[in-house]
Chains A and B, each alone.
Chain A
Amino acid sequence: DVVMTQSPLSLPVALGQPASISCRSSQSLVDSDGNTYFNWYHQRPGQSPRRLIYKVSNRDSGVPDKFSGGGSGTDFTLKISRVEAEDVGVYYCMQGTQWPWTFGQGTKVEIK
């Protein structure tokens, strides 16, 4: 199975400050079709997860542009340009290239 490793696992951030989360996969996520099926999700306490980013850098509908995704191959990053109170929760990376699709352990973002 592809192992997804996130860092940090806990991220205290002051309001208005930027935040960055890294995710590394144990093998390349480039599919045979040339696409890289790598996503980011956000889960607020008590809520279902919501996908933010698909295929590395594409924002899902309704996701504010303060969220940006980047990377390639095995190393990926999610950046939040200015953290707001609504951004707290757990962020997960996920690969959908090779079955079983797998998630990272999650990064808990809280307001400092």
Chain B
Amino acid sequence: EVQLVESGGGLVQPGGSLRLSCAASGFTFSSFWMSWVRQAPGKGLEWVANIKQDGSDKNIVDSVKGRFIISRDNAKNSLFLQMNSLRAEDTAVYYCVKESRSRSESDWGQGTLVSVSS
């Protein structure tokens, strides 16, 4: 059974930093693109970033470019999102996602809440 367990969320002041982690199990982690998707309270979904199997290719949405970094450790079956210079508008639940564009493979974690407030 695929499991994606996010951690690292919490309350942080504007300008602060957080590092989100996603512990993956139940599949061959190194074989999949992985992503982070966020959802502000009561709002819709935003695909924040994704990273190729070996980490050689990454995409990140403009709203967080230069502040967020996606990375992975295949030896530890883990996905990360380093979030710097956090703003109030970054407040959201952040989901770890394993999803194939072309096959019936889609799994989402339960999410971790990041709150940016003074």
Contacts and interface: CB of A to CB of B under 8 A. Distances in A.
Interface of A: 35, 37, 41, 48-51, 54-55, 58-61, 92, 94, 96, 99-106
Interface of B: 37, 44-47, 50, 59, 61-62, 95, 99-104, 106, 108-111
Given A54-B100, A54-B106, A106-B45, 17 more contacts: A48-B110, A48-B111, A49-B45, A49-B95, A50-B106, A54-B102, A55-B102, A60-B104, A94-B45, A94-B47, A96-B101, A101-B50, A103-B44, A103-B47, A104-B44, A105-B44, A106-B44
A37 B109 CA distance: 22
B90 to A, nearest CB: 16
Nearest to A1: B62
A48 B95 contact: yes
A54 B45 contact: no
